Structure formats: C-alpha cells, structure tokens
Amino acid sequence: MRVRTLFFGATADEVGKRELELCLDESTTASQALSNIVEQFPRLSTHKLRISINLSYALGEEVLRDGDELAIFTAVSGG
C-alpha cells in the first residue's frame, strides 16, 4: 500500500524534504511506519517524534490503510 508522509519544521529539515510516499506492507502499524522512516533518515532519531494519521494524533498501534496521510513531527511549539 502507499502512504503519503509529511514532515514539518525540524523533521522536514532532518529529512531534507517535506513529503514522501512510502510503500508499506499491508497491516503495517503507525509505529512500524515510523521506525521504517527513522531507519531511512537516522537523524530523526535525535528527536522525540509524534505521528498523526489523517489529521489526528496517533498512538502507534493503529493499522495504516492505502491512501492514508501520515505526518511526522516534533513536539509542537506554537503560540
């Protein structure tokens, strides 16, 4: 399945892009997808990361589906 993955702020800087498409096995979970990405971009491992699926915070065990939009980012700092 294909999953669109977005990066913002510090994670976009570490990855060097704002978006990539991931090809994942069926029934991959959010945290497995995250490990997969951190393996590809080890510099991400220096940050505490959060993940969202389709605009909602994910806890990790959610199973991804084809066409989902993931986002990987550091703790937010707006305001």
Binding residues vs other proteins (CB under 8 A): 6, 8-10, 13, 47-48, 50, 52, 55-57, 59, 71, 73-79
Let me know: does 12 contact 74? Beta carbons within 8 Å: no
Provide, rounded to whole angstroms, the least separation between the CB of residue 49 and other proteins.
9
Kindly tell me which of 9 and 27 has the beta carbon lying closer to other proteins: 9
Kindly tell me which of 14 and 28 has the beta carbon lying closer to other proteins: 14
Kindly tell me which of 13 and 39 has the beta carbon lying closer to other proteins: 13
Let me know: does 18 contact 7? Beta carbons within 8 Å: yes
Provide, rounded to whole angstroms, the least separation between the CB of residue 25 and other proteins.
26
Q: Which residues of 33-71 are buried (b: 16+ CB within 10 A; e: fewer)?
A: bbeebbeebeebeebebebebeeeebeeebebeeebebb
